[in-house]
Amino acid sequence: MTQGSPESGRDLGLEDAHSLLSAGDPGPTPFLVEGFIVLNAIAALVGAYKVGKTWIVLAIALAVASGEAFLGRFKVARGPVMLILEESGRRALHRRLAMMVRGQGIAHHKLSQLFFAANQGVKLTDPEWRAQILSEAQRIQPMLIVFDPLARVKGGSVDENSQLEMGPVLDFLRELREVSGAAILFVQHTGHEAGGRMRGTSDLEAYWESKVTITRDSDALQIRADHREAESTEPVGYRLDFDDHGMRFDLDEAQDDHDALILDYLAEHPQSTNTEVREGVPRRASATTSRLLALERAGTVGRRQSERPDKAGRARRVDVFFLTENADLEPVPDPGHAGTTNGSGPSSVPLSAFYRGGHGTADNVGTAA
């Protein structure tokens, strides 16, 4: 590395490429949210007016803070989250979060690291607000800091179409990233023209390292992501599903891909329970159960009962699943668990038998809890 000018006090930090390559392969690009937000990135979440951007923002924040998969499918790096909202008050946030944790079965205690400020009038052009945000970030050490929306936190006197006026706001986001080590996610509307470009100065498009885009076609929604240093993520279709239990994201599952993941898991882990398959396949748990039963009905997967020890060491009978090319084939012996006994072959059990009182899963399929 070359040394900078002693008169200026600055150091350009020039390095030679030989030293860079001699340091070894840094490995694949690490993600905070698998496929969607690169670790430590400045990220943008964009979409048209009323497309549901805040629902996705909250889903990302819930996933990172709780460690639960984003949209029930995409793995996250768990850690504290700072959520700065300027379009949702405390009551509105309470209603949305309550619906989401009920619908997705997330325990409240898992959200102790989700910190929020709702409608506090944050302005990123105000030195006092900047100082407080930096101070809180150093105290909390978040993995993710969210500003929703950028149009509100930039400051009312700042013209978002002006490169000169938006420059200091964007520079602060970069400073915040460097000081905190967190990924920074800002939310912005798309412009009127086609192509999904953000409203405002072209600097916004030049600034992001991960860009999450939401689009709507009738009642169907799609989310996709682009990155500077990683492959783009294929669009994922979803709907917002509201019922008496809350709100959940209903993804358009790639059925063949989902089935392949289940079959691959059973090939590597024969004689697995429903719970083990659900936990081992990176898809929504309820959808995995549905596809597992469909594969059983098709004769690709078989089922029988086996004995497993419970936490107290007592033997209990549970249903286990295995691969078979024909539903009439006899189940193979269970090599992975001592004390198992051969039971009946595949049986037809309704999907509801996998649930206890509508919550959680049961390995004793068809047996009362």
The answer, yes or no, to whether residue 329 has pLDDT greater than 50, is no
pLDDT confidence tier of residue 220, bands split at 50, 70 and 90: confident
CATH of segment(s) 32-251: 3.40.50.300
Assign residue 195 a region: left if phi > 0, alpha if psi is -120 to 50, beta otherwise?
A: left
3-class secondary-structure state, position 101: helix
What pLDDT is attached to residue 313? Answer: 85
pLDDT confidence tier of residue 47, bands split at 50, 70 and 90: very high
The answer, yes or no, to whether residue 366 has pLDDT greater than 50, is no
Would strands 220-227 and 246-251 be described as parallel, antiparallel, or unpaired? unpaired
Which tops the pLDDT comparison, 286 or 74? Answer: 74
User: What's the CA gap between 36 and 55, in Å, rounded?
Assistant: 15
User: What's the CA gap between 97 and 99, in Å, rounded?
Assistant: 5
What pLDDT is attached to residue 199? Answer: 85
The answer, yes or no, to whether residue 110 has pLDDT greater than 70, is yes
What pLDDT is attached to residue 192? Answer: 61
Of the candidates 289, 350, 352, 353, the one whose C-alpha atom is nearest the C-alpha of residue 321 is: 289
The answer, yes or no, to whether residue 269 has pLDDT greater than 50, is yes
pLDDT confidence tier of residue 139, bands split at 50, 70 and 90: very high
Class of domain 255-354: mainly alpha
- Where does the chain have alpha helices with state H? 17-22, 53-66, 90-104, 127-140, 150-153, 163-180, 203-207, 255-268, 274-280, 285-297
Please check whether the two domains, 32-251 and 255-354, share a CATH topology: no
Compute CA distances 216 → 47, 88, 213, 236, 358, whole Å.
9, 22, 10, 12, 31
What pLDDT is attached to residue 78? Answer: 98
Of 41-55, 175-189, 245-259, which gets the smallest average pLDDT?
A: 245-259
pLDDT in tens, 4-18: 555 667 888 899 999
Which tops the pLDDT comparison, 298 or 192? Answer: 298
Give the start-to-end residue ranges of the domains of the chain: 32-251, 255-354
The answer, yes or no, to whether residue 302 has pLDDT greater than 70, is yes
3-class secondary-structure state, position 144: strand
The answer, yes or no, to whether residue 194 has pLDDT greater than 60, is no
Mean pLDDT value across the chain: 83
Token couple for 83: 């959520």
